[in-house]
Structure formats: structure tokens, C-alpha cells
A and B are shown apart, each in its own frame.
Chain A
Amino acid sequence: MKLTGVHSVLWDGERLAEGRYRMQGEDGHIADELFKKVRILCWVMTGPSNLQSKARHVKATWSRHCNIVLFMSSEEDRSFPTVGLGTGEGRDQLYWKTIRAFHYALKNHGDEADWFLKTDDDTFIVVDNLRWILSNYTAEQPIYFGKRFKPYAKQGYMSGGAGYVLSKEALRRFVEGFSTKVCTHTTSVEDLAMGQCLEKMGVVAGDSRDTLHRETFHPFIPEHHLTGKFSKTFWYWNYCYYPIVEGPQCCSDLAVSFHYVDPVLMYTLEYYTYRLRPYGYQHRYQPPVPAVLSLASHTGKPTTEAQRLDDRVKEKSVSTNTMNPRAEKVKTTGTTYHKVTNAAQGRNITDRITA
């Protein structure tokens, strides 16, 4: 197997500092800790004719948040830069490209990452949220995550377009499968073939949903999941491993991926995720802090964002009501000062660490 060129984009510490935007007054120390503890190599499936029309916008947006990003093409392009896989282009080459890309990643960057993510050049990823999910697992576990489909494989397989991520051990077993011929190029349907090989090699298909069982990897754009009504005859209904939820609960607040994202939407989602925010808003969903973080190890138990907020208020004052002391007196619809209880917030925090 001959690969043309070993060119890759390595985001060193300094360039990373530029690429990873910090909002004004933002405390990103938890995200920074996860960046160090959950190292993700992202590789993007692209091709020569897509570099300027699609891959360029991936490069300008979400891929900057990866520890390492590689753009995989049939041909090497030193200026973009892309890795040349020595294949052709087209749908029938997808599995070949995938096989070679994963082999390349393990061989050249196996020591620099814990997790290996594959996406298309029209996939949008929120890398920080992927770290949150993966932080509950280790790179030594043979496991992979994505949007889980059920047919064709006993434990199902992960949708290619929505992106999927392998632990280092899963990647090792994938490569081993090929070297021992347990896995071969069976079909060009890349995601299905991946799923079947990984299953043979004893890699577990993980559950990527959040603690409220909401999907994080999405095979379509946000609009379709949030507002679309999928026709009952649409193949999607028969494919999804977990029950489909239409409307706002389709999607986790900590979504990881969307697919079929055009360039305008790519920048729009980057803006929505990393920039635009409602000042002071206490989010309804308070995800638990993963145990792997030092914060949790100090207190000895998992804490939520809301609890940390309460702690901070308590530091400053005696009562947590001090900020809005007369809030209860305001009785109008839609008031922003309702005292929302856990029940009303719909919190159902299960301890992900023990899951």
C-alpha cells in the first residue's frame, strides 16, 4: 500500500491558540483540560474538486478545534494541504479511501491522539461536545461512536455522513483486521463495511446519546431534525437504532454533528455554537461534569454546571436568592425570573460514569 506524500496539517500549540477562539470574558479552562485529556485526530474525506468549494470552509471553522486535522484526498496537495491516498475519486472509492486514511492516521499519528474521527467535507462537528462524550471512556477500550443505524450488523453500524469516531484500540483492531485478512474490502458502502469489520474485531458500537437520551450525531441539517416531519415511508425510520424524536428534543444541546451542511450553514453553525449567546442565560440542560476532570476529583462527586453556578453565588453572598431578591413577586407570563425546579427543567441526570 503506497501513499503519496506524508503531508499533514499539524496544529501545534501556538497555531492552536490562534485557531481556538476565546470569547470575551470566557473561562474556558474545562474545555482546555478536556483538550489535553481527550485528544482527537479528525480526518476529513474530501477530493481535489471539493477543496475550494467545501473543504476550505471546514478548515476555516470546526476543524480548528481538533487536536490534529488531516484532509484526505485521492491526491496529495501540498498547498491546501491534503494527504494523497493513491485511490481514485467517486462513491465506489469511499471504502478504499477510508481504509487507507485510517491506516495512515494510526501509522503517522497513533501516539498523538486517543480518538480518531472520520467525517465528510459537508459534516459539521462540535469537537468540544465530542470530548465531553468520549471523556467517559478510555482510548484503550475497543469502542466507537456515531449516529447508530440498526440494519445489516448485529450491533448496528454508524452513519458515515454524520461522522464516527474510533478509540485508539478500535483503530488498532481495524488495522489488525486488514493485516490478518479478517477484514477486506467487501463493499464500497463505507459506513456499513466499517461496522461489519469492527464488529468482527470485537469493537463495541457505543451509545452516543446524552444523559436525556437525545441524539448527538445527526445525519441531516438541524432544520430537518428540528422542524422536519420525516415521511413514514422514509428509510430513516427503519434505520435508526434508537427511537426517532421529531421536534426540539431530536437533538442534544451538546450536539456533536450535522450532515449535508453547505458552506453558509458551516459558518452559521460555527457562529451559533461558539459566538452567539444569550447573556446570563442559565441553560435548562445541565450536563454532568465528567469524572476525568480535576474539578470533579476535588469535590469527590460529579457536579453540574448549575451547582457550580450556585457555589459561585454562595461565595459572594449568604443566600442564592440575593441576585433576584424580589423575583417571586413578579407574576407575568414568560417571566425570566421563574424559579425553575429540577422537575420543571426536565432534568434527568443519570451518572454517565457508571453507565
Chain B
Amino acid sequence: MILGGIFCLVISLFETFNSGTHSEGHEHLHHHLKPLSKDELQKLSLSQMSDLALQVQVYCLIMVTPRLLLHWATANDTWSKHCDKSVFYTSESSKALEAFDLQEQDEWVRIRKAIKHAYENAGDLRWFFLARPTTFAIIENLKYLVLDKDPSQPFYIGHTEKSGELDYVEYDSGIVLSYEAMRRLIEMFKDEDKCPERGHALWKMPEEKQLATCLKYSGVFAENGEDAQGKSLFNKKSVSTLISDSMGQNPADVVEACCSDMAITFGGMNPSQIQVLMYGVYRLRPYGHDFQDSLTFLPPKDSDND
């Protein structure tokens, strides 16, 4: 048994060394990804702007299970309405809510299937956002982040973490993929050695790392989404946790130090907190402050909580 264990250890070390090769360097220039500045935005012509506006349509893949029914219903009722297309992919069907039933218990397998389905049904949409319903996303700010990024280039964006040599995007704060990244990923799905569907039971990696590995093999690298000040746009913690943390660390400047004005995701919030966040993001505001943003996003139809 010890020999078997050593054998597996050696194999996995061997794989780690092999996955270290980078392909084109020019695609890996930005480990930190920021939105266009206001000055740069204003230099664009109106027709360039309208082209970009169309290009940034987002397909949301929301991975649900009946166990997460409350969060599923909440995501359905709140932020997912702001995606250009949102599809809930479930492990098994629920009588309460509609979803695309993948009939699959393994989450990594579900993610693979969902990605394939989304890519095939994308229509004109070129950006993809993958998340669990426990994550809240502000899609307008996601669009702002990727506005000037070409989706026919590979992009894999979110909150990045490092595990040994592997940079990966955290699942809990949402994963952004461009059309080209999706295409390469689906191609890599065919390689059962580098990107197995059902990995070795003994060395089951979390989905986020499996995804990162497959993408890395196809020359796509994780990039950290940040604002102009370097604040993370993707958060797996709740707003109140981040505020609490800031009260402890920066008591003189709690809000300034805490979170980005253009934050994209927050995680770990219960359904009631999500409803409050929805109100806080899309409705509550101080009268008399205009922004003159370069793009306009209209409110979704048939909705009254935004």
C-alpha cells in the first residue's frame, strides 16, 4: 500500500512538471486585468462604442442543485435577470424551478457539459460567466471590465489564487471565459489524459483547479480582475464580512479600504442579504449624482426589484 501511495505521488509530481509549459507569451502579458479608464473610453467613437456594447453580451451558466433551492430561486429572481442569457444547469430536476437537467451528480462533469451546451447555444454571445447561485454578480460591471477585451482571444478571469505552479480562478467568486477560451477548453475536453472527465478518485481535485489545468494545457491562463486602484472585483466573501474585516484593519477608512465601487461578485450571502444587495446595487442611490457613463444598460423587462 505504501508503494502504491508513492507511485501515485510520483505520477502526480510528474504531471505537475509537465503542465508547466507556457505557449504564446503575448497572451500571458496581463496577470492583472483592469477595465478601460474613463479617458480611454471617451476616446472611442460612437460607432466603436456601439460595436463594443454588442460584443459584451454575457451568457450566464448557473450551476444549481436542489440542495441549493433557496439560492437558486434567489439568483433566478435577482442578478441573473441582468445576463443577456441565463441558463440554470442542474444536477437533477426540481418541481419548483425550471432548469436544464444534466442528470449528473459529479460537479466537474456537470461543468463540462454545461460549458459545451452553452458554447453550442451561445448565438451571438461571446462572454460566459460561470457561477454557483451562492454568488451574486453585477453583470454591468463585468461588461465594463471586459469591454475592450477581444473575445476571440482567450480570457479566463476572476479572483486568482495560486496552488503550487497553478494559477486558478476561484469558483466561489465566479469565473469569466471568453468565446475563444471556451472553444479551446472544449477541444481540450477530448484529451482524457490531460483533462479527464472523471479523474482519479484518490486525487480528486476541486473543479476550479481541474478547470485551470485544462485551460493551462490549451494556453489559457488565469487573470485577476481588478479596478484601477488594484482592488479585487471578484469576491468570495459577503459584503458584511468584507466590511467587518475592514473595520478591524482600517477603522479610520472602513468603506474606502474595503471594496471596489465597480465590484462584480460577492459570495457567501444568504437569500435575504442578496435581496438587500439587489436593492443596494440597482436602486438605492443619493439624488443628484450623475456619472455620464459611456454605455447605457437598460433595466430588464418584467422585474420590479431593480
A-contact 0/1 string along B41-67, CB 8 Å cutoff: 000001101100110010000000000
Shortest Cβ distance from residue A99 to the other chain B in the assembled complex, whole angstroms: 31
Chain A residues with CB under 8 A of B244: 264
Cβ-based interface call for A287 (8 A): yes
Contact A27 B289 (CB under 8 A): yes
Cβ-based interface call for A180 (8 A): no
A-contact 0/1 string along B254-295, CB 8 Å cutoff: 111011011100000001110111011111111111111111
Shortest Cβ distance from residue A34 to the other chain B in the assembled complex, whole angstroms: 6
Cβ-based interface call for A338 (8 A): yes
For chain A, the bracket of interface size reads: 35 or more
Sample 9 A-B pairs with CB under 8 A, ordered by A number: A21-B256, A274-B255, A276-B280, A276-B281, A278-B297, A281-B282, A283-B283, A334-B85, A336-B82
Chain A residues with CB under 8 A of B291: 23, 25-27, 277
Q: Given A267-B246, A271-B243, A312-B292, do A253 and B283 touch, yes or no (CB 8 Å)?
A: yes
Contact B140 A280 (CB under 8 A): yes
Contact B123 A332 (CB under 8 A): yes
Complex: A330 Cα to B301 Cα, angstroms: 14
Binds B, one of A9-17, A198-206, A317-325: A317-325
Binds B, one of A42-50, A90-98, A147-155, A221-229: A221-229
Chain A residues with CB under 8 A of B57: 330, 335-336
Complex: A61 Cα to B258 Cα, angstroms: 14
Q: Which chain B residue lies CB-closest to A285?
A: B283
Cβ-based interface call for A270 (8 A): yes
Q: Name the interface residues of B221-275: CB closer than 8 Å to any CB of A.
A: 228, 239-240, 243-244, 246-247, 254-256, 258-259, 261-263, 271-273, 275
Contact A272 B280 (CB under 8 A): yes
Contact B284 A280 (CB under 8 A): no
Contact A273 B275 (CB under 8 A): no
Cβ-based interface call for A275 (8 A): yes
Contact A330 B124 (CB under 8 A): yes
Contact A338 B283 (CB under 8 A): no
Q: Given A255-B284, A271-B259, A340-B301, do A309 and B276 touch, yes or no (CB 8 Å)?
A: no
Count residues of B near A (Cβ-Cβ below 8 Å).
Answer: 71
Cβ-based interface call for B305 (8 A): yes
Cβ-based interface call for B90 (8 A): no
Cβ-based interface call for A337 (8 A): yes
Cβ-based interface call for B20 (8 A): no
Taking Cβ atoms with an 8 Å cutoff, the residues of A that contact B are 21, 23-28, 30-34, 60-61, 65, 126-129, 131-132, 222-223, 226-227, 247-249, 251, 253-255, 263-265, 267-285, 287, 305, 308-309, 312, 316-317, 322-327, 330, 332-340, 344-346
Contact A279 B293 (CB under 8 A): yes
Partner of B290, one of A27, A247, A267: A27
Contact B285 A336 (CB under 8 A): no
Contact A28 B288 (CB under 8 A): yes
Complex: A216 Cα to B49 Cα, angstroms: 37
Chain B residues with CB under 8 A of A249: 304
Contact A223 B272 (CB under 8 A): yes
Chain A residues with CB under 8 A of B53: 323-324
Complex: A273 Cα to B289 Cα, angstroms: 11
Q: Given A27-B289, A268-B240, A323-B53, do A284 and B280 touch, yes or no (CB 8 Å)?
A: no
Contact A283 B282 (CB under 8 A): yes
Q: Given A323-B49, A330-B124, do A273 and B285 touch, yes or no (CB 8 Å)?
A: yes
Q: Which chain A residue lies CB-closest to B295?
A: A280
Partner of B287, one of A31, A278, A279, A323: A31
